[in-house]
Amino acid sequence: MYVCLCNGHRERDIREAAKSGLRCARAIYRHLGKPPRCGRCLELAARLIEEVHAGQGNRPPAFVKEAV
């Protein structure tokens, strides 16, 4: 799926850059060689970055129940 139509950045591009350790949409866009233009994609890019880092052990999975 395309995240940024202005630059042609795809979801997999954003996720791969986030997996490499980048945590900011603007930094990822710089890494990909094209800065954001209109900015409409930044919110979605930020959510994708959060998902990647959440999946790397930064927060427990939602299905884990806490012991009572």
> Residue 55: its pLDDT value, please?
81
pTM of the predicted protein model = 0.75
> Residue 51: its pLDDT value, please?
95
Report the CATH number that the domain containing residue 27 is assigned in CATH.
1.10.10.1100
- Domain of residue 50: give its range: 2-58
Is 67 among the domain residues? Answer: no
Is 9 among the domain residues? Answer: yes
Q: What is the largest CA-CA distance in the chain?
A: 50
- pLDDT < 50 regions, the chain: 57-65, 68
In eight-state DSSP terms, residue 60 is -
Is 29 among the domain residues? Answer: yes
The string of pLDDT tens digits covering residues 57-66 is 444 444 444 5
C-alpha distances in Å from residue 54, one per residue of 6, 44, 57 = 27, 15, 6
Tally of domains in the chain = 1
Pairing of strands 2-4, 9-10: antiparallel
Is 21 among the domain residues? Answer: yes
Is 65 among the domain residues? Answer: no
